[in-house]
Chains A and B, each alone.
Chain A
């Protein structure tokens, strides 16, 4: 029987709803190999990203169960081997090294954090096996590293969408850009500055901050003094975003705010609450953007009792597409899997339609969503893919 996307997702939902997400197929790195196709996953179990790691693992587990229910990979069950990256760059490198030392692992899931993927990139090149990752720094797929495959749209797209929506839809031309000073935030801000220049807007303030800041009063006062009429942001951690959002409103800044995907993350919505009402976000995952996204949302809610966000949707897509590519390759040879991944066209995932380019970028557009009193409402999708 041909496994259609709907059948696949329905089986995922059924498996999740009946509570059959079996922990036995998720093993720590010390576990022994069996008659399975094994993929490794680097994820934060401890440190400030541990929350995101839990979401990422659940997205991957839902896909894994569906893959195995639909017959597995090359006739064998697929198995996920996890390793804690401690939400640090050295932790990520160590975690990847531990996984890479196991020769039977055929592919890997990397980090959602660009900075960690940068740290792991040299080892990934040495290992010579495909790594699916979620970091959005555009540079990552321009490093000449043939083993990196991105399962989220990169920041050159998010910046273009933020700029286009803010300038065309909101009619705002004087921008304040607030961003983390890590790799993700810096590259996002740079891309947004370029996109705004092309859109004919000006940057009144380009303000970086270090992660885990406890106070944003100086940043908010700088926005107020800059006279900006709209804010674009690249926040890495939700607690930073939450503190900034609250202080922004407390200090009387009511300018519209179009943020990178973290602005619609479940944790950010919980922490910031009403401070984020009325804001806009570019979201790679928007539940109402497609049938696949809706079905994934249903499956995820059945397991987590929470709405999903991009932390889980990219790992869901990564496991699904890796399984599809290994099946298409017909073997676990890394080069064959790489070729199969590059050949993926028109795969409908929870994050959007995957069409891998030669750099390893699978997605080429973003959804724009609005925070309507805590509910994330899909507005439009802006996609730049040209076949």
Chain B
């Protein structure tokens, strides 16, 4: 169980999203950066799609009530645990009673905390993601608040390990690939060029529902009356003011504004991570050539994580209790590289412990 000691708003439990309920008006929800959450599950040996905690530039303090291992992925952060301090893209072992404190660093928007066994909130309509407008899913259908106690799923206990995770091979502000949509054809020729050339500044109106962009004013002629139609994350709409809005994972399922294109799925997690004030550009992409999208760089990267990360040997609770005690003692001594032989105290576990190697 994980207890929330302090948190900023908008921290939610998310998984890979709620699919199959568009026709009932239920948005996808799920992690804004699906690949970052997936990476956190892979390196812990979790089954695909377990839920984690999404941290949108959040300051949060969490107490762990049992021994476990966690992964920190996504946007850069400062995470403090005992006398250790780490950034995103690392696995970490946590002893029962320890407090993890996280605050954001510049660069990126969404960080993820995954835990061995996953955040075990109930499945609602096939997903553990928080559906904010419908107030269901996640932890009681709402963002986390002080005093919340999050259940953690069953998972084997493991010897402490702390190892870096290879971040995705993304170029943060490389052009985002867009497939033109129905009303692209109605853009004036200059506006078509302006759309591709930009540059587009990401405004402060940027959240899980949508990103509002600012740049050259785009104009259209002769757009027929549009009737309400189902939409998906990534669609770039053009409301009356001529400034595009990109629909994100919590966007309503139905839209009526002209749509000039769709950012393809493989680029959408990277797009979610851009910070307000950033300058972005779009790159024309044809539906036929975007696959590519079936084997994207994120997909290859996740596959390589699955090959290179093994969650380590299993341990029993008594051994971890002992290691936790040793860790506390050595932290008091202030010596992070000291070597302990614990074979005499625990004859069944005759390994040698170096805090800096084992990461405790």
Q: Do A and B bind each other?
A: no
Question: Which B residues form the contact surface with A (CB < 8 A)?
Answer: none
Question: Which A residues form the contact surface with B (CB < 8 A)?
Answer: none
